[in-house]
Structure 1
Amino acid sequence: MTIQTKFHGELDLDTLTQWTFPKGLPGLEDETAFVLLPIDGNDSFQVMQSVNTPGVALIVANPYTVVSDYSFAIDDPTLELLGIDTQEDLMILSVMSMKAPFESSTINLQAPLIFNIQNHTAKQMILNDTSYSLRTPIGSPAQKGAR
């Protein structure tokens, strides 16, 4: 089976790891299947591409590369929904908002993407801790509480 993507053209879905978001994403509840695609020449970012809608593609990054002291607790409903038993099962990414110039781009630390790498399920979890921002600047030293 092939899928059409926003940035990578047509791809063979059988060669890609498909991630299932059982409840979709906030604001995109009908989008439950995604793949992570590399960005040529950039190891820091990936494209999280919808399997069903070519125009739905989000740039994502490891938030720990932007904020070294980023820390939060995953709530029990998320752990249960994703079937997470150990920390080794986890991969955390955050959605980027890309801008020109690049230094004015931001990362969403308020709603991390939680992935279970064992069963390929994922969820965007909105944190109750409001000390993290939806739009943390990446061009300057990002600190907890940056708005």
Structure 2
Amino acid sequence: MQLQTKDYGVIDYEEKDLFHFSDGLFGFSQVQHYLPLCLNEEEDSTVLLLHGVEDPNVAFVVINPFALDPDYTPSLTEEELSYLGVKTAEELSYYVTCILQDDYLSNTVNLKCPLVINPENHKGMQVILESSGYDYKHKLGSFTHLQAEKAAV
């Protein structure tokens, strides 16, 4: 199969490559299938571009939240775990959406509503961590190890 993208041209992919969100993402229920694209050359999945298949104009930059905050502790309900087909939350992959600004340290991530994906079957969902203390907008510059890396450069 092929996906025509604005920034990357035509991308070949297979059905097994897609992430499946049967309810879509918040505000984008019409897009249920996303092609994850690595944004660096090492094929590191820390930062991905999730490209909508049903609507190629829909794309999200997502980041593994544990790369930002190793102490990030999302808590899922038994129903959410069951829906994703796992017994424990440790079996899942997590991503948070990023809102891009001109200054990358002003970019924000939504730690309150992560995307949760079963890496075995690529089934995913977006959850709201109700009583987590996490917010919808955390500036990338607020993560201390990122500030230390910038100062070292």
Structure-2-length-normalised TM-score: 0.84
Please, which moves more after superposition, 84-93 or 43-52? 84-93
CA distance in 2, matches of 1:9, 1:49: 12
Q: Any stretches of 5+ residues in structure 1 without a counterpart? A: 143-147
Q: 1:30 to 1:138 in 2, by over 3 A?
A: same
- Displacement of 1:68: 2.2
CA distance in 1, matches of 2:12, 2:85: 28
Q: Is the contact made by 2:81 and 2:89 (CA closer than 8 Å) also made in structure 1?
A: no
Could you say which residue in structure 2 is the equivalent of 1:78? 80
The answer to whether the aligner puts 1:28 opposite 2:28 as a matched pair is yes
Richer in strand (by share) = 1
Could you say which residue in structure 1 is the equivalent of 2:38? 38
Could you say which residue in structure 1 is the equivalent of 2:10? 10
- SS in structure 2 at match of 1:134: coil
- Displacement of 1:50: 0.6
Richer in helix (by share) = 2
Could you say which residue in structure 1 is the equivalent of 2:112? 110
Q: Is the contact made by 1:97 and 1:105 (CA closer than 8 Å) also made in structure 2?
A: yes
Q: 1:46 to 1:93 in 2, by over 3 A?
A: same
Please, which moves more after superposition, 71-80 or 84-93? 84-93
- Displacement of 1:53: 0.9
- Displacement of 1:57: 0.4
Q: 1:132 to 1:87 in 2, by over 3 A?
A: closer
Number of aligned residue pairs: 142
How is 1:84-103 mapped onto 2 (pairs within 5 angstroms)? Answer: 84-87=86-89, 89-103=91-105
- SS in structure 1 at match of 2:136: coil
CA displacement, residues 23-63 of structure 1 (integer Å, 9 cap, x when unaligned):
11111111110111011358442101111111100000010
Q: Is the contact made by 1:3 and 1:52 (CA closer than 8 Å) also made in structure 2?
A: no
Please, which moves more after superposition, 83-92 or 106-115? 83-92
Q: 1:16 to 1:102 in 2, by over 3 A?
A: farther
Q: Any stretches of 5+ residues in structure 2 without a counterpart? A: 145-153
Could you say which residue in structure 2 is the equivalent of 1:59? 61
Structure-1-length-normalised TM-score: 0.87
Q: Is the contact made by 1:6 and 1:49 (CA closer than 8 Å) also made in structure 2?
A: no
Q: 1:120 to 1:129 in 2, by over 3 A?
A: same
